[in-house]
Amino acid sequence: MIARMKVSVLPALGLLVFFAASAFSPPLEAKADTLRYAVAADDNVWFYASENEDGRLFLIPESYYVRVLSEGESFTAVEYLVNDPPYRKVVGYCETTALTFVDFIPARPFLKMELTVSYTLRNGGADFGDRPVFSEIERSYVYYGMRYEAGVPYAYVLYEGSFGYIPVEAEPVFEKNDDYLSVPVSPSEGASPAKKGGLNAAQIAVICVVCVAAVAAAVFILRGRRRASPSGEDKTEF
């Protein structure tokens, strides 16, 4: 998926701030046979470089997943995206209580998106004859998620091997997952359809009511008989 954005830059591309990938404090990766996922069920699930508030990097795109490496009481070690150029997997942490853990492997766990940004540079109006002045530059970035500083939106991206932020007008539009909203119920957990010739729930309820009524009637009859019996004949000594 490729999204396009336009940014006016004056005088040049000085707004870009990049950080080396070594800024992460990655936990150990899980084995391939222990796949487990958790979804960002809302738009407020942060991906952290370290297990503290200062390690905030970006917000996981809503409805997309992280792969769980190890679950902790406060923070859960996770990984996001995959090593498949131009994409690169990042390993870090999410707050455990912010995640919604699932018991299935999602078909589309990660948002694979590239942002193509057009930068418009200031043109002083110079005329160089047959030599054009290139006043617009396009660059493509791998998109990871958003963060907001003083109300200004930034996208966390990967560009030529380095991670960093680019200013954007708004969060890019993307298709959301909904598989976590309707997890199928196993046969042992739900009510199975009534078999042919069997009893359904309504029939069972009616039978129970009739049985209760029959018991009540029997008790009433027995009590009536006890009143009619001679004094002392039905008395039992213990």
pLDDT averaged over consecutive 10-residue blocks of the chain (238 residues)? 57 41 44 79 97 96 98 97 97 98 96 93 78 87 97 97 95 96 50 41 44 45 44 40
Q: Is residue 161 part of a domain?
A: yes
Q: Is residue 188 part of a domain?
A: no
Do 109 and 218 reside in the same domain of the chain? no
Phi first, then psi, for residue 137 (nearest 5°) are -125, 140
Do 86 and 18 reside in the same domain of the chain? yes
Do 218 and 166 reside in the same domain of the chain? no
> Distance (Å, rounded) from C-alpha 104 to C-alpha 153?
33
For 88, counting Cβ atoms within 10 Å of its Cβ (0-12 exposed, 13-18 middle, 19+ buried), the class is middle
Q: Is residue 76 part of a domain?
A: yes
Q: Is residue 198 part of a domain?
A: yes
Q: Is residue 107 part of a domain?
A: yes
User: Which domain range does residue 199 map to?
Assistant: 194-227
* pLDDT the model gives residue 128: 84
Do 207 and 144 reside in the same domain of the chain? no
Closest by CA to 62, choosing from 145, 2, 127, 138, is 145
First-to-final CA distance of the chain:
86
Do 176 and 206 reside in the same domain of the chain? no
Q: Is residue 238 part of a domain?
A: no
* pLDDT the model gives residue 133: 82
Phi first, then psi, for residue 144 (nearest 5°) are -115, -45
Do 37 and 143 reside in the same domain of the chain? yes
CB proximity list for 179: less than 8 A, separation 6 or greater:
104, 106, 107
Do 175 and 198 reside in the same domain of the chain? no
Q: Report the DSSP beta bridge partners of residue 78.
A: 68, 92
Q: Is residue 237 part of a domain?
A: no
CB proximity list for 22: less than 8 A, separation 6 or greater:
none
Q: What is the dihedral of CA 133, 136, 142, 146, to 10 degrees?
A: 140
Do 211 and 130 reside in the same domain of the chain? no
**pTM exceeding the 0.95 threshold for the entire prediction:** no
Do 175 and 205 reside in the same domain of the chain? no
Do 40 and 117 reside in the same domain of the chain? yes
Do 124 and 157 reside in the same domain of the chain? yes
Q: Is the dihedral of CA 27, 31, 32, 33 positive or negative?
A: negative
Q: Is residue 234 part of a domain?
A: no
* pLDDT the model gives residue 122: 79
* pLDDT the model gives residue 211: 46
* pLDDT the model gives residue 131: 86
* pLDDT the model gives residue 136: 87
Do 124 and 49 reside in the same domain of the chain? yes
Report the domain count for the chain. 2
